[in-house]
Amino acid sequence: MKTKLTVIKIGGNVIDDAETLKHVLQEFSELNSPKILIHGGGKIASELSLKLGIQPKMIEGRRITDAETLKVVTMAYGGLVNKNIVALLQAFGCDALGLTGADANVIPAQKRANKEIDYGYVGDFETDSINIERLSFFIEGGLTPVFCALTHDKNGSLLNTNADTLAAGIATALSKKYDVKLIYCFEKPGVLLDAEDDKTLIRELGYLHYQQLKDDGIIHTGMIPKLENAFAARRHGIDVGIKHALDLNKSAGTILL
């Protein structure tokens, strides 16, 4: 029987709100099974960009990353956000290890090639390229990996990689060795028919229903990459849920079919 492993991605306003983040990390630290945390930090990166006079550019929830923006996301994701999370987890007795995909060469990637849109220093990776043996070494050594949304091209450059994609890829790669559960946590109770009304929660969501909601413009912007990646993991037999971060250890949110 495979060992259970929980992969959790946090993002959105969860990271911006100190009290919420503290509560979520305490609950995360109390999970008994081995676990991995993946975090975003897009809002902090955008705020930092504006302070530095760099206008953030987004397409369907994905950040265009030129050379200056890469510096900003490296500072925000790999520095400020990642190390604050690691320090908080240590305070809760969780022996966390802050990582980018470059550390220990765990997640090599390639600069995105797109003839229509130049995403800049944005990285895409193959699930098979994730070094699951090295990750397992950390996990089985009692460490909890905490990944920010950065990979590398093996030629000396970091690459900005969507955190939702990273979570799905890590979960899928490790499903070969572990019984993986993937949970996306943010500031909403799950997938909503009306983003402004928490009572419109969709408790179960299949891919065809998602496509219809996307075509109708009900699901848009940042929820698109989140759900595309969530369904990609689900197709590999991984249990996937999307919920409010404060409901981390509760039976709540949206379950993907």
Closest CA to 138 of 103, 169, 109, 171: 103
Q: Is the distance from CB of 97 to CB of 33 less than 8 angstroms?
A: no
Burial 169-199 (b: 16+ CB within 10 A, else e): bbbbbbbeebbbbbbbbbbbbbbbeeeeeee
> CA-based Rg of the chain, rounded to a whole angstrom?
17
SS3 assignment, position 194: coil
Q: Is the distance from CB of 72 to CB of 52 less than 8 angstroms?
A: yes
> Distance between CA atoms of 174 and 179, rounded to whole angstroms?
8
**62 annotated as a binding-site residue:** no
Q: What are the tokens at 43?
A: 């809002």
Closest CA to 168 of 222, 207, 130: 130
**11 annotated as a binding-site residue:** no
Q: Is the distance from CB of 173 to CB of 236 less than 8 angstroms?
A: no
**160 annotated as a binding-site residue:** yes
* Partners of 159 in the β-ladder: 151
> Distance between CA atoms of 233 and 225, rounded to whole angstroms?
12
**63 annotated as a binding-site residue:** yes
Binding annotation: 41-42, 63, 160
Binding annotation for substrate: 41-42, 63, 160
